[in-house]
Structure 1
Amino acid sequence: MNLQFFAAAAASSLFAGCAPISVTDVASTYYQLPATTTVIVRQTITIPPGAAHVTLQDGRIVAIDHLRRYEPFCQFEVNDVFETEQQVRPGQFAAVRIIRQQKLYGEERQPLLLAANTVTGSQNDAGIGTVLLADNGYDASFLLNEVRLRLQSAEQPHVRELRCAGGWDFPSAVAYPTLAEMSRVLGTLISIEIN
């Protein structure tokens, strides 16, 4: 009888480790937005010609070359790319699907050149005449943790999703954006409401 009890206790402990942990603190990076979340566009958003999204940071739309990639940012996306600008009018959107995902960005492994024989400008550029003594094994990979809210509205069916990221970081330090960080990024343009 004791053996059955211990086996049942061990099995329940093992399977309890597979159960998702529910975090209720909205300030936590581990907090997951509920299925009843809505996104409210508070001001008209203009998607430029030839694009399907705008990038937001510090409560305003920013050009991609002005984005501070290591800080939280969001992208607001529509379904199609047009030759003319597109307008998203103020309105309410249901978040019909909320996904938390990681994306890996990196560069090809580059060997660390510690020594070379007969290096000239042209030879070094072509990789000719070099002797590799060691490889540092460093691959400049960064992770991006995103919260993706798939949006739906009968009035504006061309709106696709709102993606918010915690900023690029090394795998050991990357975090999902908190609700407060996403709100700060979106400013007065867009808000995320938990119902």
Structure 2
Amino acid sequence: MSSLLKSIIAIVTLMLVTGCVQQSIRDRNSAFFQVPVGSILVLHDTLEIKPGHTRLFVQRGVVTKHSDLDQYWPSCSFEVRDLKETPQQIQPDSFSVVRVQQGETEIVGLAPVQVAALNLSRLAVWDGGNPLVSRLYHLWLTSDQQPNVMRVTCYGAMAGLPEADLPLFMEIEAALGPIATIKL
């Protein structure tokens, strides 16, 4: 085999192999951008998690009860490892992002309406089609001062499974608002 043919085969093989490597997306406005490992989440406000809970939600830059979340708008939750029967505080701090994970959560459908002993189950929201889901990013965090802080999970808007998208970086920033910022 000639050296020219060997060189061509080597170049083509190299191109094929490097073409399969996932390149990181650097454009933070891209739908494919995700917070890179090594980023710093800076918490500016003290957050208090209620007794018997391990997370609290923020949406549009304010702490929000889970029951008050607008499921059609991106949100984030701060999560701790320990479940306690006393309030837990997350103090202002800088947290390193040590792992980024994608996922999704199925939104539980509404129960059938029941009026005066009539079961109106045919009026239930879920018709057996595509489930409603929210795609999400888990940003696993670490801090020497607050090892109980586990992660921030940021959710995209609820949608049918084929239409559900991961939250964009600018949507994550809007959900966190002045409470926290992410330094890339």
Please give the range of the TM-score, normalised by the shorter of the 2 chains. 0.7 to 0.9
Helix, strand or coil: the match of 2:159? coil
- 1:88 is aligned to 2:90: yes
Larger radius of gyration: 1
Q: Bigger CA drift: 65-74 or 20-29?
A: 20-29
Residue by residue over 1:13-65, the C-alpha shift from the partner in whole angstroms, topping out at 9 and shown as x without a partner, is: 65455321332210112112222201111010000011000011011111111
Aligned residues: 170
- Structure 1 gaps of 5+ residues are 109-120, 127-136
Shift in CA distance, 144/12, structure 1 to aligned 2, threshold 3 Å: farther
> Which runs of 5 or more structure 2 residues have no equivalent in the other structure?
110-116, 122-126
Q: Which residue of 2 aligns with 1:103?
A: 104
CA shift for structure 1 position 10: 6.7
Amino acid at match of 1:144: S
What is the CA distance between 1:180 and its match in structure 2?
Answer: 1.2
Q: Which residue of 2 aligns with 1:132?
A: none
Q: CA–CA distance in 1 between the matches of 2:168 and 2:174?
A: 10
CA 1:107–1:145: 2 relative to 1, 3 Å: closer
Shift of 1:153: 0.7
SS in 2 for 1:187: helix
Residue 67 (structure 2) aligns with: 65
Aligned residue number for residue 154 of structure 1: 144
CA contact (8 A) 2:34 2:169 kept: no
Secondary structure of 2:67's partner? helix
Which residue of 153, 169, 175 corresponds with 2:159? Answer: 169
Q: Report the 3-state secondary structure (helix = DSSP H, G, I; strand = E; otherwise coil) of the residue aligned with 1:184.
A: helix
Q: CA deviation at 1:173?
A: 2.0
Deviations 1:127-151 (A, max 9, x none): xxxxxxxxxx942413322111111
Residue correspondence of structure 1 range 104-119 to structure 2 within 5 A: 104-105=105-106
> How much has 1:12 moved relative to structure 2?
5.3
Partner Cα separation in structure 1 for residue 45 and residue 92 of structure 2: 5
Q: TM-score, normalised by structure 1?
A: 0.74
User: Counterpart in 1 of 2:175?
Assistant: 185
Task: Report Cα offsets for 1:90-117 as digits up to 9, x if no partner.
Answer: 1111111112x23252679xxxxxxxxx
1:79 aligns with 2:81: yes
Q: Percent identity?
A: 28
Q: Residues 85 and 190 (structure 1 numbering): CA distance in 2 closer, same or farther, change over 3 Å?
A: same
